[in-house]
Amino acid sequence: MVIAAEGNPLQPLVLAATILGGSLAAGGASALNQFIDRDLDRQMSRTRNRPIPAGRVTPINGLIFGLALLAWSAFLLTWLVNGLTALLAMVGAVYYVFVYTILLKRNTVVNILIGGGAGAIPVLVGWAAVRGGLNLQPFLLFAIIFYWTPPHSWALALLVNSDYEEAKIPMMPAARGAEVTRLQILMYSVQLFLLTLVPVLLPAQYRLLGGFYLYAAALLGIGLLFEAITLLREASKAAARRLYRYTTMYLALLFLAMMIDQLFFRR
């Protein structure tokens, strides 16, 4: 939203409604995911204490709760923001629930790769909330999150691989092995690093960001490559844990650098 506003003040009501509506959409999609995956969640140690498998919430109540959150999200975003923002939020939820959870997660090793699009849709939601439409620029931000998802998720998968093997979920380490996963993490980290430089290298009329962001992205990207190479060389859970934590921090700091660049260095 800050990038789309190009340094102009954001309307407080639109900002608040987009954050609340987006949170409701994400929460609703997560609740539906847990309703659908309740059988798998019972089998995995890291998920068996979720509300449905633990018995704190009945499946039907979980389903109703998830649908209600999505309904409130669509209502608030349509009423207080605009119809396209509401539509995109619902597309993100459908993508996560149907494309990732139902179609991909249990059936293919590329579940995370393709399913990562669901986690990238919020940047389109934020852009549409400010601009009322989409152009090619927000899809570059979409691509950054899309390419960030495999290194982040596969690092976690290396840590909990026994859970995925037990539940017969074809995550990359369970389906292709840890060595292939570590190599794939490095390959996607390289692509992500290069992609994060593109917003500054676009022609002037399409350029999203400037020098502050470029330096931040370069430094963060070097750190990411260092952790990915370390994981490939050490092949240890400790290295996978460090990479997982770094990727979490990496995305937050990258988007923070975008905001700082837009607010203080692009006027």
pLDDT in tens, 184-243: 999 999 999 999 999 998 887 778 899 999 999 999 999 999 999 999 999 999 999 999
In order, the DSSP letters of 206-236 are T----HHHHHHHHHHHHHHHHHHHHHHHH--
Do the Cβ atoms of 158 and 240 come closer than 8 Å?
Answer: yes
Q: Is 133 exposed, middle or buried (0-12, 13-18, 19+ CB in 10 A)?
A: exposed
Task: Tell me what pLDDT residue 205 has.
Answer: 78
Residues in the chain with pLDDT < 70?
267
The secondary structure of the chain in percent helix, strand, coil, rounded to multiples of 5, reads: 80, 0, 20
Task: Tell me what pLDDT residue 267 has.
Answer: 57
CA 124/CA 194 separation, integer angstroms = 21
pTM assigned to the model: 0.93
